[in-house]
Structures are given as structure tokens and as C-alpha cells.
Structure 1
């Protein structure tokens, strides 16, 4: 089984979402705090709504898991239960804290799970002019936009560094480690690493995929944070 058509769909949807998020980032928007004390904007919600609309039309039997609106759809399972053999998992804006502060390191994440396997992933960071994508059996690729035009896709390759004392380690913040009582061992790890930087969120993992960073660390991740990566 190949997932080329699913990847093409995800890339086309990402193009539309980029238009919404870039326009939103340049305008005025209200910021609300969710129950978990993380920010959300109407741009987040508008982006996820668009993804849901496109997927519902193109893949009506697939389920969708989104950060802002939860799980919907899916084919009927035994005894009328809902089953989710294929789940699209979406984070409309990964890095919302950056988005609201005008920092360009944010991205839309669109991933597809077939059963428990991640088979498609698209990470689109339009403010950085970057996009990364992959499908099972088709390799992982990245493009950069220069003056609005995409470069030729380049295959991603992780680094060959195996010695932590020579490795570059990236993380998002220290507060999450402290909240979970894991700050001291994490700091020990950073002292052992050859280099540390807090690129954070999706960017840490894309740098690992490109071989620019060797290790990415988080104290916890939700499904929508990780499926596309």
C-alpha cells in the first residue's frame, strides 16, 4: 500500500492553510487561554476548520483528531461502535506562543495514522519559508521558499553523530521539566551534550530530520504534537 495520494492531499490542504495563517499572523487577533493555560487564537480555529472541511470532503470515512476540536468521524465498527483505522491528526498552529508574539517559528502539522502507524506527515512553516513532508515508502523531503518560489525538494538525512558529548541537543523550555520533577536529570543531560539550543516545538524535530541537530527532548507530547513529525 502506498500513501502518495494522501500526501498530495495533505500538501494541497497545507497550501490553503498557509494562506490563512500567514494572513492571520499579519493582522490583529484576540488571544484566549484554554483550560490548560495555553493560548489559542481564532486563526488556530479557522485553520483547523479548513482542514476538517477538506478532509471530510476528500476522505469521508477517515477520522480526524485536532488540537482545538477533538476527534470526529471514522467508519462504523462492530456493534455500532466507532473505529478509527485511519486518523488524520492535526495541530493547526504548533508554536502558538511564538505566533502570538510575532516569532516566525510556528507551523501547521498534518499527519495520518493508519492503525498505529504514522504513514504521512506534513510540517508547513510559511513564516520561515520552510516545509517538510514524508509518506511511508516515499522518503522524507524538505523545501525552502526563496522569494516566494520553492526550491527543488531535497531528501532529509539525520546526522551520524553517536557520541552525546559531541551531539547538538535542542529542547523547548525548562519549565515543563521542572513541573514534572525532571529538571535536575535533564540539566545533567544538557551538561553532557556538546551543544544545547532551545529551538523548540516542531523545529527541534525538523532539525533532527535534517541532521542539523542530533537530539530533541521534550518532557511530554500529545498525539497532535508528534504524528506529523
Structure 2
């Protein structure tokens, strides 16, 4: 029997609940095992446990689908691929900063169609599937549908940019500063939270460099279903293998890309 996107979203939400139970149990644990990967990024026993349980669940629930995870790479092939970041914001997780969570997505024929972002330390879970809207569940509250802001002028916009170091590394620091001078407000909320605040309408622009497919895929359906737009810094849609992401409320997107373009 062919699954619908609603069915796939239900699977992703179950995976997120399982991920939350494992990760929150290890959060701020005195015996948390932290190691450095070859790229010098951190990985913990929680990252590995979460991804392992997600892969095991998908092997039962969606045995014909491929899986790409940050910690254990690619398994399987085909037009349907689950992309998983077991803990986005591992550095925050290690240091006790509550901005971290599981990113779970289903990509079909290269297009992110289902996305779940679950941040148990914040008491929040966001989700979307194409055609089904974007939603936020906060602890003790009913889910509410999300909508991006209606800000149409850069001079009135709020922008979250993440790491200055990476903007400099990829040769776009001058463009970042230019955009920062143009908008009303700049902050670096960081990691998954920037994009979820965008989907909620709390900020208007989020962008960063040095990203991987598992950093991006789950964010895309949520922002799009909330009415926003997501590309890379050069304006390419569904660019999961790129090194950059630019997300806006849609109204500001072309203006933002223009400010971030190379001279």
C-alpha cells in the first residue's frame, strides 16, 4: 500500500517523540560521552543513540526507503530518502544551552516534503508536510498553525545570521554586514531556532553558511508551508547539497539575495 504524506508525517512525529526521550535523558548528564569527529565537530553518545533508534524504526516502518543521517551516513537508495540530524546543535547540547533538537525529514525526488523539528529542552515541536500546513506544538497547549510575517521592507525586518566566522570563511562577510546595516534588527539565535522563529512570524530572515543536507532538509517544508521561501545564497531551490541556506518570509527574499550576492 502506497503511503500518503500524512502517513509519512505520522511516522516522523513518532520518530521525534522517540528522539526526545533519549536526548532529554542525556541532556546535562554528568557522564555524557563527548568526542571530536574528523571535521572537529562534536558528537555525543546521545547523537548516536538517537540516530540508531530512528534507523531501526524506519527499517520497520519504511523498509524500502533510503536513509541519510549525520552520524552513520547513507543506507539504501531510491526516490524516497529520510534525512536525519539526531541532535542539531550538539555544541549547545553539550554546554547546557537549550537550543537543540532532532531534525527529521522525508525527501522525495529531491524535494523535502515532510519536516519535523523537535526541541524538548524548549518544550516545542514544529512540523509540516506539503499541502498540510506548518504547525507548532508547545508543552501543555494545542497545536497551532504557523504563518510567516507580513514585513515587506528590509528596513523593518529582523534577521538571524548565525556564525560570523562562517560568513567570513565563505567570502560573504561584507555582504552580511551590508544586509545587517539595512535591516532593523540583527541577532544570532542559532541553529534550528532561527528558522522556526521565522516560520512563527517572529523574525523575517534567517541565513547561514557551512550547512549539510541534514541541517536543512527538515526546515524547508516547515518554512514553505508557513508561507516562506527557502533557497541557497544564489537563489537555488531545493539545494540540499549546497553550503548555504537563506530563508525569508517570501516578501523579502529577492531583496535579501540581492544584498548577499557577490559584488
TM-score, structure 1 normalization: 0.92
Q: Alignment partner of 1:221: what SS?
A: coil
The corresponding residue for 2:148 is 158
Moved over 4 A (4+): none
Residues 1:48 and 2:51 are matched in the alignment: yes
* Whole-angstrom distance in 2 between the partners of 1:171 and 1:96: 18
The corresponding residue for 1:81 is none
The corresponding residue for 1:16 is 18
The answer to whether the 8 A contact 2:28-2:94 is kept is no
User: Aligned runs of 1:5-84 on 2, under 5 Å?
Assistant: 5-27=7-29, 28-74=31-77, 84=78
Residues 183-192 or 106-115, more deviating:
183-192
Quote the offset at 1:177 in angstroms.
0.8
* Whole-angstrom distance in 1 between the partners of 2:156 and 2:56: 46
The corresponding residue for 2:228 is none
The corresponding residue for 1:103 is 97
Tell me which of 3, 6, 10 is aligned to 1:4.
6
* Whole-angstrom distance in 2 between the partners of 1:50 and 1:9: 13
Quote the offset at 1:181 in angstroms.
2.1
Q: Alignment partner of 1:218: what SS?
A: strand
The answer to whether the 8 A contact 1:3-1:135 is kept is yes
The answer to whether the 8 A contact 2:100-2:121 is kept is yes
* Whole-angstrom distance in 2 between the partners of 1:34 and 1:164: 39
Quote the offset at 1:221 in angstroms.
2.0
The corresponding residue for 1:212 is 202
* Whole-angstrom distance in 2 between the partners of 1:173 and 1:219: 8
The answer to whether the 8 A contact 1:67-1:90 is kept is yes
Quote the offset at 1:26 in angstroms.
3.3
Q: Deviations over 1:193-227 (max 9, x none)?
A: 10011101111000110100100010232110111
Q: Alignment partner of 2:22: what SS?
A: helix
Q: Deviations over 1:107-161 (max 9, x none)?
A: 100000011111110000000000000111111100100xxx3x11100100011
User: Aligned runs of 1:83-162 on 2, under 5 Å?
Assistant: 84-145=78-139, 149=140, 151-162=141-152
Can you give the 5+ residue segments of structure 1 that lack an aligned partner in the other structure?
A: 75-83
* Whole-angstrom distance in 2 between the partners of 1:180 and 1:110: 27
* Whole-angstrom distance in 2 between the partners of 1:137 and 1:189: 32
TM-score, structure 2 normalization: 0.80
The answer to whether the 8 A contact 1:2-1:137 is kept is no
The corresponding residue for 1:77 is none
Number of equivalences: 216
